[in-house]
Amino acid sequence: MSRPHAAVAASANEADQPTSLVLRFGAERPLALDGGGSIGPWQIAYQTYGTLNADRSNAVLVCHALTGDQHVANIHPVTGKPGWWESLIGPGKPVDTDRFFVICSNVLGGCMGTTGPASLRADGDGPHAVDFPVVTIRDMVRAQAALVDHLGIESLFCVVGGSMGGMQVLQWAASYPDRVFSALPLATGAKHSAQNIAFHEVGRQAVMADPDWKAGRYILEGTRPEKGLAVARMAAHITYLSEPALHRKFGRKLQERSAPTFSFDADFEVESYLRYQGRSFVERFDANSYLYLTRAMDYFDLAADYDGALVKAFKGTKTRFCIASFTSDWLFPSSDSRAIVHALNASGASVSFVEIETDKGHDAFLLEEPVLFATTRGFIDAAARARGLDGTGKL
């Protein structure tokens, strides 16, 4: 694992637990928001890996999905688990940290160091909670652009992400076409479907129905809506999988018993698995952040900013695109990716598309998928040659 550039650990026993870098903006540098108004002071937490070359042309921005964070390729300081995309990012991997300078930040509204609903108000009067302004995907990208500016990077070699991260990739390409040389949006869409909005609303209602949510002010009340957030995670996790994958892994197998208990205990392995997913999620995620980030995904509709014509979002773009979808992904089906590809083709953009055969569902972009790795490596290598970068990431 490549070591990230990180702040000094808080204590000796945390020496192997990287602490995120945090970029802070004072009240004199507020961040404008799509919903009106602005927020300031504010901050963005991030990790970097690899080395930025002399002319700052080898930077890769990684955008995380709904429940991800900046710890993309290092041991997570809360869970102790490997980075969430270490299969794709690291020395010698498709996103090679021996060649590229990789940046990954926690999104605006998140809960791993970037300003969000759990952040303290500027006046010190407790956390923002549900008084925090509703944010959009474009707000997240605007915050990332401020970070990239701070790092002195005029143009990103590549922006890559899946699911909500893929939405950010598309927004980057639309908002900052001259700053994105290549783009890899995976398992995503240019807008959220009614079905996806519906699933998110179920999750939000589960959180808000928990008595410990306390109208969103649970931190001040000294409670946590753990049960509601766990149920939200369980429901969402089902959408990340596929029926064949669930059947292959669990079927109707019982959990450590030879016969049903005829109760509402977790008789089936799949029930036990979902309960574990729910319990482990609440240990690292803030409930209000879950509400805000799902809402940001719901509001995402890239074409809406261009008179409903997606092709206008990419008009005249010089960005190189590679789009990937997965046959068993019913959260963001291949038809969503094809709509993006058609718009890019109509705009005259350079675009390639691959639909990967797999039964692993939406989460396939995070898993061991040889075709995805080969596609990503081939696209990045070709883009690097076009950029004039050699095998070391230098010009």
pLDDT tens-digit map of 208-261: 999 999 999 999 999 999 999 999 999 999 999 999 999 999 999 999 888 998
Report the mean per-residue pLDDT for the chain: 93
CA angle 40, 45, 49 (to 5 degrees): 145
Residue at 278: amino acid letter: G
Cβ atoms of 253 and 273 closer than 8 Å: no
pLDDT band at 6; cut points 50, 70, 90: very low
Task: Say if residue 128 is in the same domain as residue 160.
Answer: yes
Please count the structural domains in the chain.
2
Cβ atoms of 61 and 159 closer than 8 Å: yes
How many other β-carbons are positioned within 10 Å of the β-carbon of residue 92? Answer: 9
> Has 335 been annotated as catalytic?
no
Parallel/antiparallel/unpaired status of strands 42-49 and 101-105 = antiparallel
CA angle 35, 39, 44 (to 5 degrees): 110
**Catalytic site residue from 329, 334, 337, 363:** 329
Task: Say if residue 89 is in the same domain as residue 186.
Answer: yes
What's the pTM? 0.94
Inform me whether the pLDDT recorded for 340 exceeds 70.
yes
**Catalytic site residue from 2, 20, 163, 337:** 163
CATH number at residue 342: 3.40.50.1820
Question: What length is written for the chain?
Answer: 395
> Has 337 been annotated as catalytic?
no
CA distance 322 to 228: 38
Residue 181 lies in a domain: yes
The DSSP code sequence of 331-347 is SS-HHHHHHHHHHHHHT
Exposure string for 51-87, b = 16+ CB within 10 A, e = fewer? bbbeebbbbbbbbbbbbbbbbbbbbbbeeeeebbbbb
> Has 105 been annotated as catalytic?
no
Inform me whether the pLDDT recorded for 7 exceeds 70.
no
CA-based end-to-end distance of the chain = 25
Cβ atoms of 170 and 332 closer than 8 Å: no
Residue 395 lies in a domain: no
Q: Quickly tell me which residue has 């753990």 as its tokens.
A: 226
Residue 394 lies in a domain: no
Domain extent at residue 143: 4-191+301-387
**Catalytic site residue from 69, 182, 362, 363:** 362
Residue 393 lies in a domain: no
